Chain A
Amino acid sequence: MSLARSPLIPGLIALIGALSLASLVVGPAPITVPMALKALVSDQGAASIVVREIRLPRTLLALMIGWVFGLSGAGLQGLLRNPLADTAVFGAPQAAAFGAVLVIYSGLIGTLSWALPFAAIAGALLSVTLVVAVAGRSATIVVLVLAGLAVGSLAGAGTSLAISLSPNPFAVTEIVFWLLGSFEDRSMIHVFLAVPFILLATILLLAAAPGLRALALGEDTARSLGIHVPRLKVLIVAGAAIGTGASVAVAGSIGFVGLVAPHLVRSFVGYDPARTLVPAGLAGAALLIGADIAVRLIPSQGEVKVGVLTALLGVPFFLWVIARRKAELVETPA
């Protein structure tokens, strides 16, 4: 089945279109679908403010971040030949949050500065590099997950510590922002802050596609087939870190989208790790925008954080993958 003729990508795009529309409509202020579309392109007073300034930014953020998470997850799973790989499993969102919190609480910058994504990216880069380096050529899945757990825990503790030590009286609210991501109350400024990084991450990750395919047969075979494996690692690690860092900088830490998305699409593309990338990105976008609509519909006082929902759904999924592949966890090199 060639990708061009497969209904997978058009199907996912249609799904994302429908969900995006729903995302513009769903919320406390009742706006109909025709009204939402009209308010988007022309001035309809209050409706336009709600649609353009409240719902459009969160819709765009959910799309972009879901896309880059799905892409990163598929890239890392391909690189490490391991269905449990993901930035969230490697503690990257926590590390990115730690990076961001460090610069904010050191009083260097405000929350809408360009330095923020850079600090978050540095944190994410450190964690992903660390885990990939510890995993090396022949670490088992267990080593990989444990290394990620350690990095994530350390970064989470660092974030809490930095906030506890800060003179800011609103520290507790801030901890919630960084540890549990959300798209609530984001503006177009957040979108513009993240866009360049998400684009860069996309380019890096897609450039890795041909090499990922050869890597399915192991590092030595890939190299003998003419793939520059160190370059491939840099592309994927940098792409995943930049995407995660930029996302966390504007939305806080959101996990497990990248873990789940590739699994949803892999069987449709013949398990080819290169052809998994784009559909996984689209599936990630659909998942995250779906989750962001769901948190608006869950009846509660104030919105449930979208990061909570993705973790609630993602962790059982993670356990399910482990249970299904238990036998391999003992010995399979990553």
Chain B
Amino acid sequence: MKPHRMLLEARALSVSFGENRALAGLDLALEPGRFTVLIGPNGAGKTTLLRSLAGLIAPGAGAVTLDGMPLARMRLSERARAIAYLPQGGSIAWPLPVATVVALGRLPHGERPDALSLAGRDAVADALRSVGLQDFAQRPATALSGGERARVLLARALATQAPVLLVDEPVAALDPRHQLVVLNLLKAQARAGATVVAIMHDLTLAARFADDIVLLRQGKIDAYGSPGSVMTAPRLAAIFGIVTRILQEAEGIVIVAESALPEA
């Protein structure tokens, strides 16, 4: 099924947790059909931004809009069909079968895991196949390895077939092969028309797979654009405190992190 295209925007978005200002008047337009990667040091506000974009945090000021409609004014089920969100390091509380966990992604369509529609069953099967877990459908999800569980949860987000897909560190727990599988999958979702946003810490993988990079620093966007334009050695040194060598290859840039700078 081809997701229809939706533009996700943050306008003058500010979020505070008590005294602590996590996002400070941030503007961002995320185009459909593009795979955008959020990078930034710990505490830069990446997860807060992603949760705000998912409508899970009420903005202190400003708004997040989907095709111009503020998320706060959408019905919960409508928002859930439009935006699929995968939190970081998600847990599964009960030994539910893998297929049931993935089928929870159909809840926004009003489908219960034990009463899926034909389209729902296809979506679940497709999602399982795309993360390479089609043979795991009846296994208890809690008995899987960390990486397998992460893929099950990603399949759950995919099963919603939402036009917007927001994923927090989707490859952090994965082995190298599955990192590539998942990143290719996210890119394919974008190519099919979805608005895909992921948080990543691996700058090399981010540079290689992202269409656009959003570099966050202290709750503000420091740079937004193609990997080549955002990820320059002086900027990475200033923000991450690392010395990098940036190689120009035919497919794009390759970032080699060489050393950590002393604490400023």
Chain B's interface size range is 35 or more
Inter-chain contact total with CB atoms closer than 8 Å = 89
Contact with A along B51-92 (1 / 0, CB 8 A): 100111000000000000000000011011101111100111
Q: Which residues of B118-141 have CB atoms within 8 Å of chain A's CB atoms?
A: 140
- Name B76's contact: one of A216, A226, A266, A271 (CB within 8 Å): A226
Instruction: Report chain A residues within 8 Å CB of B100.
Output: 270, 272
Count of A residues near B, CB < 8 Å?
28
Instruction: Report chain A residues within 8 Å CB of B95.
Output: 271
* A275→B56 contact, CB < 8 A: no
* A210→B113 contact, CB < 8 A: no
6 residue pairs A–B, Cβ–Cβ below 8 Å: A218-B91, A223-B56, A225-B108, A226-B80, A266-B94, A332-B91
Known: A223-B56, A225-B80. A275 touches B114 (CB 8 A): yes
Q: How close is A261's CB to chain B, nearest CB, in angstroms? A: 16
- Name B114's contact: one of A2, A81, A216, A333 (CB within 8 Å): A2
Q: How close is B37's CB to chain A, nearest CB, in angstroms? A: 20
Nearest chain B residue, comparing its CB with the CB of A82:
B93
Instruction: Report chain A residues within 8 Å CB of B190.
Output: none
Nearest chain A residue, comparing its CB with the CB of B80:
A226
Does residue B101 face the partner (Cβ distance < 8 Å to A)? yes
Bound form: Cα–Cα A159–B99 in Å: 49
- Name A224's contact: one of B80, B92, B97, B112 (CB within 8 Å): B80
Bound form: Cα–Cα A280–B86 in Å: 31
Apart from A213-B107, A226-B108, list 16 A-B contacts with CB within 8 A.
A210-B107, A210-B112, A213-B104, A213-B113, A214-B104, A214-B107, A216-B93, A218-B87, A221-B90, A224-B80, A225-B107, A227-B107, A271-B96, A272-B114, A274-B112, A332-B91
Bound form: Cα–Cα A300–B105 in Å: 56
Instruction: Report chain A residues within 8 Å CB of B101.
Output: 216-217
Bound form: Cα–Cα A226–B81 in Å: 8
Does residue A281 face the partner (Cβ distance < 8 Å to B)? no
* B97→A270 contact, CB < 8 A: yes
Does residue B151 face the partner (Cβ distance < 8 Å to A)? no
